[in-house]
Amino acid sequence: MAEPPSATVSIERVAVCIPPFWAPDPEMWFIQVENQFALAGVKSDETKFDYVAGNLDCKYATEVRDILVHPPTEDKDGRLKSELIKRLSASQERKTKQLLEHEEVSDRRPSQFLQHLHSLAGTVVPDDLLKSLWLGRLPPPTQAILATQINSSLDSLAELADAIADTNPRPQMAEAASLEPMFEKMSILMTAKIGEMATTLRQEIAAVASPTRLGQHDSRRDRSPSTSRQQRSRSRSLQGICWYHRCFGDEARKCVQPCEYSSGNMQGTR
């Protein structure tokens, strides 16, 4: 004798054990839910829809609010499943992309960095997007070479990137760190030298503008006209006289020709 439909529905509700909803990978969660439905013998579309809707947290239920409030007349469970996967996956993809954008190669080999991005991306980031993010973090020369390998798989590109990195090794972090004390010392010495030069320049400017030098400058300007005429006359008289007679007069022991000096016509400057 066949069992009444009401009894069958009651057994389904007791036997099904739905795991907690897993937002990072809703597709995998639905696979587990379908396995539970199969074990419990649940085939009713209405029952599946109710189980899934009843196990969604509020923040995830709001993503498919329109379907929960106004469910379709047919394939309610299938529509809820497809829309929940699509909408949550798109949201998770944006969040994962933001996370991946802050990752750098650092001292890892390109293939190691690719595996690291794979672990962060999970199943929600497409391979094309992951490839673009990975290539964008590699050194520009490596990017240029890999860009020519249009038909190569991502794994092949990773192997080629490793080979390029082996021929052009990046400086080790320890070596870069060992140079920091030297740069710091050079910076201190340069700062001290600049300060010393600035002090010397200020002193020279102050000396030029001091009253003593101004007074000396004024005294030169205030010389009498007669003194200036005497100096000009003496300058003319020295023209045509060699250096020895100009300096020593009659006591000169040498003479460089042409020289117009005659004994007694001038006194040496020394």
Q: Integer distance in angstroms from the first to the last C-alpha of the chain?
A: 148
Residue 171: phi, psi to the nearest 5?
-60, 140
When pLDDT is cut at 50, 70 and 90, the band that residue 172 belongs to is: very low
When pLDDT is cut at 50, 70 and 90, the band that residue 239 belongs to is: low
- Higher-scoring residue by pLDDT: 90, 200: 200
What's the pLDDT tens digit per position in 13-47?
446 888 888 877 788 889 899 998 888 888 898 99
For residue 262, what pLDDT is reported?
A: 76
The CA distances from residue 54 to 61, 206, 225, 244, in Å, are 9, 87, 116, 120
- Higher-scoring residue by pLDDT: 97, 267: 97
For residue 211, what pLDDT is reported?
A: 55
User: 28-37, 120-129, 156-165: which has the minimum mean pLDDT?
Assistant: 120-129
For residue 197, what pLDDT is reported?
A: 80
**CA pair distance 161, 113, nearest whole angstrom:** 11
**CA pair distance 180, 190, nearest whole angstrom:** 15
The CA distances from residue 194 to 113, 185, 186, 191, 200, in Å, are 45, 14, 12, 5, 10
**Tokens 């947290």 found at:** 57
Give the residue-averaged pLDDT of 56-61. 86
**CA pair distance 107, 172, nearest whole angstrom:** 8
- Whether the per-residue pLDDT at 95 is higher than 80: the answer is no
The winner for highest mean pLDDT among 104-113, 118-127, 242-251 is 104-113
What's the pLDDT tens digit per position in 182-236?
667 667 777 777 877 878 877 778 777 665 554 554 545 555 555 555 555 555 5
The winner for highest mean pLDDT among 81-85, 211-215, 263-267 is 81-85
On whether the CB atoms of residues 110 and 162 are closer than 8 A, the answer is yes
For residue 173, what pLDDT is reported?
A: 42
